[in-house]
Structure 1
Amino acid sequence: MDTSRLLRTSGTLAATAALLLSALTAGPAAPTASASARPQDGDEPGTTTVATGPEETGAGPAGPAAAGLLRPYYAQKLRWHSCTGKGAGFECASMKVPLDYASPRAGDITLAVARKRATGSSGHLGSLLVNPGGPGGSAIDYLQSHAATKYPAEVRARYDLVAADPRGVGRSTPVTCLSDGEMDRYTQADPNPRTAAQTRGYVANLKKFSQGCATRAGRMLRHVSTVEAARDMDVLRGLLGDGKLHYVGASYGTFLGATYAELFPSRVGRLVLDGALDPSLSAERINREQAAGFQTAFTSFARDCARQVECPLGTTGPDEAGKRLRAFLARLAGHPLTTHDSRRLTEGLATTGVIAAMYDEGAWPALRRALSDAADGDGTVLLALSDAYYERDEHGAYSNLMAANSAVNCLDAPAAFHGPEDVRRALPAFRKASPVLGEALAWASLGCAYWPVRPTGHPHRITAHGAAPILVVGTTRDPATPYPWARSLASQLSSGRLLTYDGDGHTAYTRGSECVDEAVDSYLLTRTPPPATRRCS
């Protein structure tokens, strides 16, 4: 099991849950020119002010000598063409960015870009970049499967929706670590090693993953930080002809957006940070507070389950439901369940399936069905939820989500723990945060301990002095990015404005709240953020 700090939107998981429920109910079954520059926020009508190169904010972290070497990257042309396959109706392109911004001559990497043209014929506001989080989630997949259809019509009418898979992710130059068969074995690992032998096996599994990354990813492992990804976004902004960056980032995408604001405050346009990560927290604290977030989500699920006709965890309340779930998961350690697949449902896979369903209340019916089936000896639906979390398809192929997730997290901050003894010391605090999932999430926090590359980032407050108003959205019962993180980020940002959604699930925009959608849309369309006291339910 590997679920540590996987922060992304719930759209993919919710869609998978819907498909599962549908199946259970029904039974088996030409090139175009690059966008021209248009007036942006702060421009006078009829004029264009486009910041095209690194010199606009000085050399920044690249250093003064490197700044001039970056200008060719800002001068390249995006050559758009019709996307193929599932991307029909979208335009695709590729762009070059330096592997190392401090040494631009060290070589290039390629980023994949896609866009959906604005549907309206007037009132164009430029490009709106989107990112679903992860780190490791494909922004292009998110654009094509969610943003291009779920974002409100007026937003789609006035913005070109644009996505770039970040460095190390998806269609861009990727980080890879294990083969598909090796990933199957990796994800099946016992999430709660109880004996010395089990602990040695758990550590060996982590070391094999880390070594696989070192072998397969090579130099890329040193250059997939969030700072570098944010600098890539500025190159893309310039190539799109936008003087300011307009952006909707969800989950980990909020950290990417906040980092951009820190690096390029004068280039901030309309930034929406939904389901915020607090950049000032250590990795250990992030993981522990995330455990508490998943406990909150499980409590909501258990209460909802108890109101249904049949609840596989009983109807006496969250405490009893938690005891039943822990007992069920513990039994799987010695007796995995059969599935319709050749794989068995192990404790690790089942735990991941439960965590996956906590991201979105729309997945709760699928989880109820999964647990009911598991009580009858069939682990198929829980395994499907776990596969959706890991982005494993029906042919057994994995995306590189988990490889990129570890690569970015382990570079962005020092490891939460340095060995099993650290985890065991922290177990009481994690159990207190989540009696149901705390132990598993504590052990999942050990992944970066054996990483082959030293971290380059560190926890710190982000203020982004001089940036235009930035909208931070927080959900009160968000499992993956707890609500206090949104409050903290909004208070750190010198121009931060908090919008609160009193509800369940991970992130809030385009997830069913008209109040949230109207507030975000108004900000994106008029540049006016909602009042600081705005609360939606």
Structure 2
Amino acid sequence: MRAIRAGFLWAAGQKHRQYTPRIAASAALAAALAACGGGSDSSSPPDPLQPYREQAVQWTECDPTIVGVRSAKLDELWALAGERLRCAMVRAPLDWAHPERGDVFISVMRLAAASPDKRRGALLFNPGGPGIDGLKQTFTLLKAFAQSNPDSPQGAMQLRLLGEYDSVGLSPRGTGASTRLQCATNELMRPIDTSAAHWDTPANLANAEYNGRKQAQACLKNPITPFINTDATARDMDLLRSLLGEKKLNYVGYSYGTWLGAWYAGLFPEKVGRMVLDSAVDFSGTLEQGVFGGQPSARQYLLDHLLVPYAARHADTFHLGATTDEVLALVTGLEPKVQQLLVARLTNLGYGPDDADQYLGTISAAHGLNILLKDTPQPINPDTAANALKHYVFDPANAERDANIRQQAQELLYAYTNTWLRPQPGNVELDTSQSVLTAIHCNDTPAITDPTAWAGWIRSLAQRAPLFAPGNIPFHACAFWGGPKVQKPGLEPLKPLELLFLQSQYDTATHTPGADHFFSQLPAARRIYVQASYKHGLYPYGDSCVDPAVTSYLLGESPTQRETVCQGHPLALDMPPQRRAPAVPTYRNPQQAHKLIDEFKRGLLPSKLKP
């Protein structure tokens, strides 16, 4: 229990200070100074933002369902956290430039520092997206750190984080329990072919243009859409910093959260404390070029240079071919309709090595389905194909693997049926996460607006990434948006800041060339670089290189060298037979902690627009 009390759970009888009196005292002091002539000049117009800065934040008991899920284990942890865990709703202006237009509300969760006498400030987490709710994700990571073992050097540092920081998560504007955005209309989406063989036709490009226009119209009909942007979210974060009584913002941002962190640093460089940018988007460019322009080649590079060689090295397990050429031929030789569905699956499985075996198993599933469909009488009857699939043998030597691949093949057949045989058109309707992703991509930075130029851009991407570039076709709404609604800050304010970057070599969501370019322009920054890994969202990584460096940085000790290179975890079948376990485990219950960390990491995966 000593470790629990030092970390996540509330010690019996302990009282933690409340922020509301502190805020009220600050407001009273400001009023007194103004009355005595110490505030603004009486001839100056009133500051329309002052009511937001002086609001009294009511920290109350959190409703356990505010994170969207509930379980007996969650309720237990929630109850034991006691008064340290509190929630609040912060009022912010819808339009920071014109606060008279009304308000939005930002939902915030705070786990107060376990050791108030050692408290160093508040640490804000953002899991990226854009469009991901930060409440559940932050709480999941904190639950994992609560399992830290105080007898382990790394575990002890993680407990220090929980002891010395107030850990803060929020639903960024537009998401979660905050004021939400949703884009929808009655019009129906038109089908789009994203296969490498058939995407570049006038009819297909016209359908993509139609869908993009309708998505943009659906979003822009919502009056809050122009104000769902990174500039507004960064200002919301600074408002929260002020209301928490903090001089500096300490921050850990993942993926899009690095873009948000960089934007905050560009606006408020003097208020940046410890800032970790994990899996970084190139802030020197546009989101269209930096994200959509970089992801296809990164996905192709991962397939060609890491996972195909892995399959060839272990041909007796994967049965995809003994050489890289043989493995690639299975993918490129698929019938285009099957290939399109496979590539979509590979995209979603390309964010971390835990899915490597499933990634290659999905190729086996698509290959088997492709053979089966060729042998099925035409026109294809889905029921006949499904019955044949039950008897198809994918791996005669391994019954468990055979069953797993068959399950993936059945899912591909289901998608094939709904996409090609019995398509059911749906409304132009984006869920909250997709709506926010669209709004931020289109509001933040310029996009290609000319349809001919846009198609030419996809063709240029396809030269480097023939399988994955056509997947960009559905992301066309920004062409009809009317341009960005905010101005991105420049890099100059970031150059003196001691930011800490993390990047894996084969990251497919925030591609490494873009991350390299961003990092190279910030001479005071430091970076942890992980070789031979494609983990998107590295911290905590579960090693003796990444985790100590990042945790030490958050506790005040920066790396001495500009870049630290760490070796990535081997893929499962490349793992040494007897991997040496640490003498003292980092977590008291490693299995439970690793499950929580895996849940946290999977929650970082970017939302996808519906094609």
TM-score by length of 1: 0.75
Q: 2:494 aligned with 1:491, yes or no? A: no
Structure 2 partner of 1:125: 120
Where do residues 73-472 of structure 1 align in structure 2 (5 Å cutoff)?
73-76=52-55, 77-85=57-65, 86=69, 88=75, 89=78, 90-120=85-115, 122-150=117-145, 152-178=158-184, 189-192=192-195, 193-215=199-221, 218-286=222-290, 287-299=292-304, 300-308=306-314, 309-311=316-318, 313-317=320-324, 319-328=325-334, 330-332=336-338, 347=340, 350-377=342-369, 379-380=409-410, 399-419=431-451, 421-441=452-472, 443-451=473-481, 453-457=482-486, 461-464=490-493, 468-472=497-501
Task: Check whether the contact 1:213–1:403 (CA below 8 A) recurs between aligned residues.
Answer: yes
Deviations 1:376-430 (A, max 9, x none): 44545569999xxxxxxxxxx98522111110010111113531x2233224421
CA distance in 2, matches of 1:383, 1:137: 30
Task: Check whether the contact 1:150–1:510 (CA below 8 A) recurs between aligned residues.
Answer: no
Task: Check whether the contact 2:139–2:169 (CA below 8 A) recurs between aligned residues.
Answer: no
Q: Which amino acid aligns with 1:369?
A: G
Q: 1:371 offset after TM fit, Å?
A: 3.3
Q: 2:62 aligned with 1:70, yes or no? A: no
CA distance in 2, matches of 1:384, 1:513: 40
Q: 1:156 offset after TM fit, Å?
A: 2.4
What is the RMSD of the two structures over their aligned residues, measured on CA atoms? 3.4
Structure 1 residues 235-244 or 476-485, which shifts more? 476-485
Helix, strand or coil for the counterpart of 2:180? coil
CA distance in 2, matches of 1:100, 1:72: 14
Q: Which amino acid aligns with 1:413?
A: T
CA distance in 2, matches of 1:242, 1:497: 24
CA distance in 1, matches of 2:445, 2:201: 30
Helix, strand or coil for the counterpart of 1:236? helix
Helix, strand or coil for the counterpart of 1:512? coil
CA distance in 2, matches of 1:37, 1:141: 28
Structure 1 residues 245-254 or 523-532, which shifts more? 523-532
Structure 2 partner of 1:391: none
Q: 1:457 offset after TM fit, Å?
A: 4.0
Query: Residues 379 and 80 of structure 1: is their aligned pair in 2 closer, same or farther, counting only changes over 3 Å?
Result: farther
Task: Check whether the contact 1:169–1:404 (CA below 8 A) recurs between aligned residues.
Answer: yes
CA distance in 2, matches of 1:190, 1:209: 18
Helix, strand or coil for the counterpart of 1:232? helix
Identity, % of aligned pairs? 29
Helix, strand or coil for the counterpart of 2:501? strand
CA distance in 2, matches of 1:175, 1:143: 21
Query: Residues 285 and 399 of structure 1: is their aligned pair in 2 closer, same or farther, counting only changes over 3 Å?
Result: closer
Helix, strand or coil for the counterpart of 2:19? coil
Query: Residues 278 and 466 of structure 1: is their aligned pair in 2 closer, same or farther, counting only changes over 3 Å?
Result: closer
1:506 to 527, 536, 549: 536
Q: Which amino acid aligns with 2:181?
A: V
Query: Residues 409 and 486 of structure 1: is their aligned pair in 2 closer, same or farther, counting only changes over 3 Å?
Result: same
Deviations 1:49-79 (A, max 9, x none): xxx99xxxxxxxxxxx999221221222142
CA distance in 1, matches of 2:414, 2:92: 37
Task: Check whether the contact 1:225–1:408 (CA below 8 A) recurs between aligned residues.
Answer: yes
Q: Which amino acid aligns with 1:252?
A: Y
CA distance in 1, matches of 2:99, 2:550: 37
Deviations 1:146-204 (A, max 9, x none): 3542583332232222111111122221221138x999x68x74325343222222222
Deviations 1:82-134 (A, max 9, x none): 23223742532211100011111110001111123334465222211001111
CA distance in 2, matches of 1:175, 1:66: 33
Query: Residues 269 and 284 of structure 1: is their aligned pair in 2 closer, same or farther, counting only changes over 3 Å?
Result: closer
Structure 1 partner of 2:576: none
Task: Check whether the contact 2:266–2:490 (CA below 8 A) recurs between aligned residues.
Answer: no
Task: Check whether the contact 2:343–2:467 (CA below 8 A) recurs between aligned residues.
Answer: no
Query: Residues 350 and 526 of structure 1: is their aligned pair in 2 closer, same or farther, counting only changes over 3 Å?
Result: same
CA distance in 2, matches of 1:464, 1:385: 48
Structure 2 partner of 1:338: none
Q: 1:455 offset after TM fit, Å?
A: 0.7
1:519 to 549, 561, 564: 549
Structure 2: runs of 5+ lacking an equivalent: 1-14, 32-43, 79-84, 147-157, 370-407, 417-428, 568-611
Query: Residues 323 and 404 of structure 1: is their aligned pair in 2 closer, same or farther, counting only changes over 3 Å?
Result: farther
Q: 1:495 offset after TM fit, Å?
A: 3.3
CA distance in 2, matches of 1:384, 1:72: 55
Deviations 1:196-225 (A, max 9, x none): 22222222222222222223xx22111112
Task: Check whether the contact 1:226–1:412 (CA below 8 A) recurs between aligned residues.
Answer: yes
Query: Residues 370 and 145 of structure 1: is their aligned pair in 2 closer, same or farther, counting only changes over 3 Å?
Result: farther
Deviations 1:435-465 (A, max 9, x none): 3212323x245331122x4313466641325
Structure 2 partner of 1:473: 502
CA distance in 2, matches of 1:225, 1:235: 16
Task: Check whether the contact 1:100–1:106 (CA below 8 A) recurs between aligned residues.
Answer: yes
Q: 1:507 offset after TM fit, Å?
A: 2.9
